[in-house]
Copies of this chain bind each other. A is one copy, B any other.
Amino acid sequence: MQKLTPAGRRVLDVAAELFYRQGIHAVGVEAIAAGAGVTKKTLYACFGSKDQLVTAYLTERDQRWRDWLAEWGGDSATDRLLGTFDALAAWMDREDFRGCAFVNALAELPSADHPAHAVVVGQKHWMRDYFADLAREAGVADPEDFAKSALLLYEGVTVAASAGIDGAAAQARKAAAALLG
């Protein structure tokens, strides 16, 4: 995403908030423009279409999550590996959680042709590779195998939490530790 004009920046911030909070289909461009104190004309000048605005929203959110993870230190590779679930717990605490934005987007955008689809798929594969890299560094016997299981636990956390199941992140961390052996 190239640099945005001040108005474009406001639009993307408001869109991100509304899309996540209320869902993509449920939010109209009119409401986004109004929330950003901007006319629809400006919104369309900056993003071209609602679909592209959605894609920009997901792309930026993906980047923010990767930055969040990168800053989440840990002494050893194992610490950083299991720390992923602590980072997730902390992320979910920041806002009133409404599930994984990428999973939610997938639910609302069935067409595989939608540009947002690739962003979501990319994010999940990146997470799996992230787990695999750390597992390799930690000397896990089969890093790819562990990474696949870790991804399942990771995705399970967001779903379970949004369905009102408490302590999902801590549970996932415990299970992942058990799988490490």
B-binding residues in A (CB < 8 A)? 21-23, 25-26, 98-100, 102-110, 120-121, 124-125, 128, 145, 148-149, 151-160, 162-165, 167-168, 171-172, 174-175, 178-179
Contact = CB atoms under 8 A, between A and B. Distances in A.
Given A156-B154, A157-B152, A175-B179, A163 B107 contact: no
A148 B166 CA distance: 10
A100 B159 CA distance: 10
B149 A155 contact: no
A127 to B, nearest CB: 10
Contacts of A22: 110
A163 B124 contact: yes
Nearest to A153: B152
A159 B167 CA distance: 19
A153 B156 contact: yes
Contact of A21 (B109, B110, B155, B168): B110
Contacts of A157: 152
Contact of A98 (B98, B110, B155): B110
Contacts of A179: 175, 178-179
Contacts of A149: 153, 171-172, 174-175
B165 A160 contact: no
Contacts of A121: 163-164
Contacts of A124: 159-160, 163-165
